[in-house]
Amino acid sequence: MSGAPFRIAVLASGAGSNLQAILDTLHEGPEGVVVAAVASDKPDARALERAQAVGLPTASFPLADHPDRAARDAALADWVAGHDVRLVVLAGYMALLTPAFLQRFPQAIVNVHPALLPAFPGLDAVGQALAHGVKVFGVTVHFVDEGVDTGPIILQRALELPHARTREDVLGELHAVEHELLPAAIRLIARGAVTLDPADPRRVRLEP
């Protein structure tokens, strides 16, 4: 690829398998995407170890180290912006970002959610779906707005699991879908193929 690298930051609270998928399939690859920084709200997140293992800058911003969420997110936003990124990727980041954080990165924050939104937003989406008895599960990658998993949808993929009974039945299969769909969305954004329809900002246009 020609031109400047497309620098992204990843925020993650947990195991970081989605971060790993980004590192394995996109980072420093031919599309020019570079993971420039990885941050967490949890100092012991395995995601931070995965980033450090490939020499990336990391930082953690636990709420307990700051007077309140606004101050925590201001520090987080300063750190992320200091790495000169064009996209912030929430890959299992479990804290709700403040409106002030969102305003620092307009239309440049994406999240991966383990359900077919608008069904089952928020915590334990797979548990919610199982309790509802669904036969079709899925993954959504969407822009982040001020609601909980309510932003414009970029990519979705459904997965039929009519016999699933437990979270374990579902999560392994959904993770495999996430590990393709999140890098795919980032790749499209880096290529400039993702725009919001000015006539209907809920609608995300994807160039073929």
Question: What are the residue numbers of the active site?
Answer: 113
Stretch that binds ligand GRF, among 13-21, 48-56, 99-107, 186-194 (CB under 6 A): 13-21
Asked if residues 170 and 161 have their Cβ atoms less than 8 Å apart, the reply is: yes
Query: Which structure tokens are listed for 103?
Result: 């305003």
Classified as helix, coil or strand, 87 is strand
Residue nearest ligand GRF, Cβ-based: 92
Q: How far is the CB of 4 from ligand GRF (least distance, A)?
A: 27
Identified binder of ligand GRF from the candidate list 23, 33, 56, 91, rule CB under 6 A = 91
Nearer to ligand GRF, 3 or 172 (CB): 172
Query: Which structure tokens are listed for 116?
Result: 């077919």
DSSP annotation of 19: H
Measure CA of the first residue to CA of the last residue in the chain; give whole Å.
Answer: 18
Query: Which structure tokens are listed for 173?
Result: 């299969």
- Regarding 85 and contact with ligand GRF (CB under 6 A), the answer is no
Packing angle, helices 17-25 and 46-53, rounded to 10: 20
- Regarding 184 and contact with ligand GRF (CB under 6 A), the answer is no
- Regarding 15 and contact with ligand GRF (CB under 6 A), the answer is yes
Identified binder of ligand GRF from the candidate list 12, 97, 161, 194, rule CB under 6 A = 12
Residues counted in the chain? 208
Q: How far is the CB of 45 from ligand GRF (least distance, A)?
A: 8
Nearer to ligand GRF, 166 or 195 (CB): 166
How large is the C-alpha radius of gyration of the chain?
Answer: 17
Tell me the backbone φ, ψ of residue 202, rounded to 5 degrees. -75, -20
Nearer to ligand GRF, 15 or 159 (CB): 15
Residue with tokens 């994406």: 110
Asked if residues 140 and 118 have their Cβ atoms less than 8 Å apart, the reply is: no
Nearer to ligand GRF, 82 or 147 (CB): 147
- Regarding 48 and contact with ligand GRF (CB under 6 A), the answer is no
Query: What would the x/- binding string for ligand GRF be over residues 103 to 122, using CB under 6 A?
Result: ---------xxx--------
Find, among 173, 179, 168, the residue nearest to 92 by Cα: 179
List residues near ligand GRF by CB under 6 A: 12, 14-18, 91-92, 112-114, 178
